């Protein structure tokens, strides 16, 4: 019998959120190959975040509401900053300074990504494995990373396929601004 944790995690990570928006936009803008460091950073960062929930970080966040508020503020600010950059982006990188998110940036973003925390905290409380903290952390981390690899590959590939439709500056601008608005919306949802 398949552990119901896997279905929950897959649906939680596959559904739209900051990573989906950013990977789709990066795939469309830079192509799948250049988006791979971003993608692998998301995969590792999500696994680490989920593993931390298995170690009991949820209890720490519940006992220190100031820490939870700081994480929310940092997440919201970072998402608004990325949305602003996406809103003002251009399809072609004229001066070569624009680049996809790096591996390290993507790993670090997961630690303040509210959707990842919400899914990880829900999964660790709703589908406990009855294991010790380290084994539970490994169980959650590997489930999240493994399933998220599939989700990330889908969304980054979908974005790269969109390049066939986003051939004009106007088409790119519409796409980028829709993605920026979605990311901006997620920055507000952090506080709900």
pLDDT score at 93: 53
Could you tell me which of 46, 40, 45, 11 has the C-alpha nearest to residue 153?
Answer: 40
pTM for this entry = 0.85
Check residue 165 and report its DSSP letter.
T
Low-confidence ranges of the chain (pLDDT < 70): 91-97, 192
Q: Which residues touch 189 (CB under 8 Å, ≥6 apart)? A: 114
**How many structural domains compose the chain?**
1
Check residue 95 and report its DSSP letter.
S
Domain of 148?
4-189
pLDDT score at 94: 47
């Amino acid at each position: 019998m398949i552990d119901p944790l896997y279905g929950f995690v897959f649906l939680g990570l596959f559904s739209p959120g900051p990573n989906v928006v950013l990977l789709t936009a990066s795939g469309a803008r830079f192509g799948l190959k250049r988006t791979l460091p971003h993608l692998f950073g998301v995969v590792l960062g999500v696994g680490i975040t989920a593993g931390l929930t298995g170690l009991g970080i949820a209890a720490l966040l519940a006992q220190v509401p100031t820490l939870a508020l700081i994480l929310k503020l940092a997440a919201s600010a970072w998402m608004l900053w990325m949305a602003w950059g996406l809103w003002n982006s251009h399809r072609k990188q004229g001066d070569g300074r624009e680049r996809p998110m790096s591996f390290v940036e993507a790993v670090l973003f997961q630690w303040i990504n509210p959707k990842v925390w919400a899914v990880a905290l829900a999964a660790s409380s709703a589908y406990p494995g009855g294991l010790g903290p380290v084994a539970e952390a490994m169980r959650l981390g590997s489930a999240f990373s493994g399933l998220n690899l599939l989700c990330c590959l889908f969304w980054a590939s979908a974005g790269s396929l969109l390049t066939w439709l986003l051939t004009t500056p106007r088409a790119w601008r519409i796409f980028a601004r829709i993605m920026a608005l979605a990311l901006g919306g997620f920055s507000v949802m952090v506080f709900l």
